Amino acid sequence: GESVGLHLPTLSVQEGDNSIINCAYSNSASDYFIWYKQESGKGPQFIIDIRSNMDKRQGQRVTVLLNKTVKHLSLQIAATQPGDSAVYFCAENMGYSGAGSYQLTFGKGTKLSVIP
Residues near another protein (CB under 8 A), total: 32
Of these, 32, 57, 62, 63, which contacts another protein (CB under 8 A)? 32
Residue 108 interacts with another protein (CB under 8 A)? yes
Determine the Cα–Cα distance for residues 42 and 27; give it in Å rounded to an integer.
Answer: 28
Interface stretch with another protein, choices 58-66, 67-75, 76-84, 102-110 (CB under 8 A): 102-110
Nearest distance from C-beta of residue 116 to another protein, angstroms: 26
Q: How far is CA 76 from CA 1, 57, 86, in A?
A: 25, 10, 14
Interface stretch with another protein, choices 15-23, 41-49, 59-67, 71-79 (CB under 8 A): 41-49
CB neighbours of 39 closer than 8 A, spacing ≥ 6? Answer: 1, 45, 85, 86
Helices (H) and strands (E) counted in the chain, each on its own, are: 0, 10
Q: Which residues bind another protein (CB under 8 A)?
A: 2-7, 32, 34, 41-46, 49, 89, 91, 93, 95, 97-109
